A and B are shown apart, each in its own frame.
Chain A
Amino acid sequence: MAHDKKNSSYISGRESRRITRFNRRVTRRLEKERADANKDQSLYTTKMKNPNNVVEFDNVCTYFFSDVGVVKAVDGVSYEIPVGKTVGVVGESGCGKSVTSLSLMQLLQRPSGQTVGGEIRFNLGDGTAYNIVNTPNAIMEKIRGNRISMIFQEPMTALNPVFRIGDQVDEVTFLHHPELSKEEVKARTLEMLELVGIANKEGVYNMYPHELSGGMRQRICIAIALACSPSLIIADEPTTALDVTIQAQILDLLQNLKDKLNSSIMLITHDLGVVAGMADYVVVMYAGRVVEKGTTEDIFHHPSHPYTIGLMKSKPVVGKKVDELYNIPGNVPNPVEMPNYCYFRDRCEMQCERCHGDYPPEIRISDTHIVTCYRYIDQGEIVGYPKSVDVEAL
């Protein structure tokens, strides 16, 4: 494609109209299903496979119905987040790591973004679980900010500039605990501000976001996320916009708070260094699929998928001198037309005969370590295939 001089993204008017018609039909139907507030509860309650997990992603498919075709942003992703543990999700931009978390929160850009297949099971703690994919909006509103909360990348834009800090933290508690009085809510907010290490809590309570530095704002965002003691905190690149020294402060804070509150953290980042210091488990994603998952030791001491190996080699490490950094050749395949073989094959320097077949299965190479690559097909048992949803059948 890259060698083709002609513009490969050209779409004829007829084709474009067909895509639009198709998108409208599919998204309308899906939206209608979701809007049904009086849905029978049995439709979205399930059981966890393992009650020690907070969240189980099971073959989740989140597609975007765009004007140039269906973009499979997340395509058959499966992994678990155990209670009280930190799971790091690593990958380059556009690999679907953020979309997975947005699917969990049902915060996708609708109607074009839709979770069309798979299950996201969220543990309610009483033996039952919600399948987030089918959960109606009214129920989701009670989960968001209360049971699952999110810390965003840009603390500068995540806070509303026209409200005082106190009001913004109060809002969460107020929404999810309407039984509390104003004074009780304020007391709780001050407690939260203290918890995230803000010394001048009474002063900050009455400040506006612009009066605070980036690190302080991120602390406020964390306070908002923790206000209702959620069982899962999604931290979407929480330190990318911050300086190294502030990053160390924030990571230190997150680590301490997790132990204090016994919450799980889903840490989305592209910085391998941050993951190594924070996470218990690591999931490596590439082009909308999980290519490797395991404990942090598995991934960092025995990286197995060629992509993970390449990623590790391409990052300069302080104290390790190399003449030239390794770089992974080529680019990520076009998300509209994914190949039907291994997505990484065209960039892979370790490809073999077998790679010309279908997309490789997930192979368990040790108790905790799963890799999606044909190189290990003789070294472990096959645990599953990432399942895609047939778009035409929708």
Chain B
Amino acid sequence: MQEMNNNPVRQSDYLLEVENLVKWFPIKSSFFKRTVGNVKAVDGVSFKIRRGETMGLVGESGCGKSTCGRTILRLQEKTGGEVRLNGQDIFALNKEQLRKLRPRMQIVFQDPYSSLSPRLPIGEIIGEAVREHGIVPQGEFDDYITRVMEVCGLPPYYKDRYPHEFSGGQRQRICIARALALSPDFIVCDEPVSALDVSIQAQIINLLKKLQADFGLTYLFISHDLSVVEHISDTVGVMYLGSMVEYAETGKIFANPLNPYTQALFSAIPIPDPDAHIHRIILQGSIPSPANPPSGCKFHTRCSHCMEVCKHAAPKWLEVEEGHWCACHLYDDAQAKAEAEEAMARAKRSQAQAG
């Protein structure tokens, strides 16, 4: 680990590499505080994001997409796996090194009403971290904040106002300005537009896109609004109950979703055209508890293509087409099929023994 930190920063195509990331939250018993189980919020997620691109992360609420975003930034400690930003393992850093890295990675939260301190004026909210990290010399501080605000479409005289004086859209601009002020490489956008009205959503999305073009930012865009994700992302990952079930370029995944869950999710998008008659796959039931996920493929309880093997063996993460990854037994190759059969036999044996 130590060696890797001393290495000069590797310049690869990928800014962010996430490998097999695991985040479990322990469930404690009430009295002895023993761990009686784990909520497997993120359970083995891997992906890479290219420099200057946006990856969309979609899924139902409770599927672990926000936890994933927060763990990547080390706002929470991981349970397992690796996250590399610019080739540097984030979880191997000590406190001081991490503090130095913080300006490089930022986050924009979902709710602009609760993520701004009501007691600080806007200039201070945006500038607090700039001062802390010494991004600009003290003399240029004011000019710098003005510049950042202008870039985000905020008039400079807002500097002395307080958050309660602003509408939701403007608050979200302030949140974006706060993240941008540290000139980061990577921003996690955790549902940045879901709390906003349609016409304001468009403003914020356009702003995010403009900033990406101007400053070469890389985004991880977490959202449950698929139409927004399609608009802004270059690649899309679909999560279900803590695992990634499909990953591909935006065009590919929307044109040809492979996983039955992705198919159902995409068919549920309401289309603003009264004549559009799409075949809607309506999923039954709701998402199972991540503390006690179903055995085998986690989606098998709601899947319309469920086979015997799905109930016992977890599907492998395979590259079905070039650049199109999917975890589903429908697309198993010969090797994966054999492994799945074996796992199924094993699971059945142990079940019989237990029974």
Binding site for B on A (CB under 8 A): 2, 5, 92-93, 213-216, 243-249, 251-252, 270-277, 296-297, 300-301, 310-312, 314-319, 321-322, 324-328, 331
* A245 and B60 within 8 A (CB): yes
A314 and B202 in contact, given A244-B60, A273-B269 (Cβ under 8 angstroms): yes
Give a binary string over B220-262; 1 marks a CB under 8 Å from any A CB, 0 the rest.
Answer: 0000101110110000000000000000000000100000000
Interface size on B (CB < 8 Å)?
41
Asked if B273 is an interface residue, CB under 8 A from chain A, the answer is yes
CB distance from A306 to the nearest CB of B (A): 12
Q: Which residues of A contact B61 (CB under 8 A)?
A: 214, 243
Q: Which residues of B contact A301 (CB under 8 A)?
A: 274
* B227 and A327 within 8 A (CB): no
Asked if B137 is an interface residue, CB under 8 A from chain A, the answer is no
* A276 and B206 within 8 A (CB): no
* B228 and A276 within 8 A (CB): no
A314 and B198 in contact, given A216-B286, A247-B270 (Cβ under 8 angstroms): yes
* B282 and A327 within 8 A (CB): no
Asked if B301 is an interface residue, CB under 8 A from chain A, the answer is no
A276 and B276 in contact, given A243-B224, A314-B198, A325-B202 (Cβ under 8 angstroms): yes
- Among candidates B60, B202, B206, B266, residue contacting A315 with C-beta atoms closer than 8 Å: B202
A316 and B167 in contact, given A252-B280, A252-B282, A328-B199 (Cβ under 8 angstroms): no
Q: Considering the complex, give the chain A residue whose CB is closest to the CB of B264.
A: A245
- Among candidates B205, B266, B274, residue contacting A316 with C-beta atoms closer than 8 Å: B205
Query: Which B186-237 residues sit within 8 Å CB-CB of chain A?
Result: 197-203, 205-206, 209, 224, 226-228, 230-231
Between-chain CB contacts (< 8 Å), 21 pairs: A215-B286, A243-B224, A245-B60, A245-B265, A248-B267, A248-B268, A249-B282, A249-B283, A252-B282, A272-B272, A301-B274, A311-B198, A315-B227, A316-B202, A316-B230, A317-B227, A318-B269, A324-B206, A327-B206, A328-B202, A331-B167
Q: Considering the complex, give the chain A residue whose CB is closest to the CB of B226.
A: A318
Q: Which residues of A contact B268 (CB under 8 A)?
A: 244-245, 247-248
Q: Which residues of A contact B201 (CB under 8 A)?
A: 314-315
A297 and B274 in contact, given A244-B269, A252-B280, A314-B201 (Cβ under 8 angstroms): yes
Binding site for A on B (CB under 8 A): 60-61, 155, 157, 167, 197-203, 205-206, 209, 224, 226-228, 230-231, 254, 264-276, 280, 282-284, 286-287
Q: Which residues of B contact A300 (CB under 8 A)?
A: 272-274
- Among candidates B203, B209, B266, B274, residue contacting A318 with C-beta atoms closer than 8 Å: B266
Q: Considering the complex, give the chain B residue whose CB is closest to the CB of A347.
A: B199
- Among candidates A277, A322, A324, residue contacting B270 with C-beta atoms closer than 8 Å: A277
A327 and B199 in contact, given A317-B227, A317-B272, A319-B254 (Cβ under 8 angstroms): yes
Extra contacts besides A249-B283, A315-B272, A322-B231 (16): CB < 8 Å: A243-B60, A243-B224, A244-B60, A244-B224, A245-B60, A245-B264, A273-B271, A274-B270, A276-B272, A276-B273, A277-B270, A301-B274, A315-B202, A316-B228, A318-B254, A319-B254
